[in-house]
Copies of this chain bind each other. A is one copy, B any other.
Amino acid sequence: MSDPNNEKMPYSLNSRKVASATREWLHKRGVKVEEIAELVMLLQNKYYPDLTMQECLDNVEKVLAKREVQNAVLTGIQLDVLAEEGKLISPLQEMLVNDEGLYGVDEILAFSIVNVYGSIGFTNYGYIDKLKPGILERLNDKSTGETNTFLDDIVGAIAAAASSRIAHRKQAERERQNGEPEPELPED
């Protein structure tokens, strides 16, 4: 092209943009990090009675800072949005709009989020995804016209991942208090 300002920039991944788009789209789809933190509290306060909402929030933030998580969130929300707009090919369109139980790709994306802090989060994810407490109940309300087929699983997975992170950190804390040498944290 003749106009040099118009030239296509060579592609280069911008991690900051991926991170901020993740936050922005969660917000646009009506998900507050505080609500995810509430799920974490619900999952973890029986094991750690002193756990504070601030700790839950901090751990959700750390989970959301992971590239794997951001990619899964953006991809899942994208599919929800396009389904809501009726823009997917049939019969994918119908499966997503109706949250088809045998679809399963939503669980696969959710799982890639849980996995980031290892297998100990599997149980928490399944539990919360079945009971649908708090924000998960709202995301599952089929009467709104919204499509959150991916988002509800993703939000549950973020809460499960944050719970795993807390379990790892609390163990490290306990060992420090027992006078053990500072353990290297497994999530580093």
Contacts and interface: CB of A to CB of B under 8 A. Distances in A.
Contact of A122 (B62, B71, B82, B107): B107
A107 B171 CA distance: 19
Of the listed residues A129, A172, A175, A183, the one surrounded by the most CB atoms of chain B closer than 10 A to its CB is A183
A90 B11 CA distance: 13
Provide the main secondary structure of the chain A interface.
Answer: helix
B102 A65 contact: no
A38 to B, nearest CB: 18
Interface string A90-109: 11101101101111110111
A74 B94 CA distance: 12
A144 interface: no
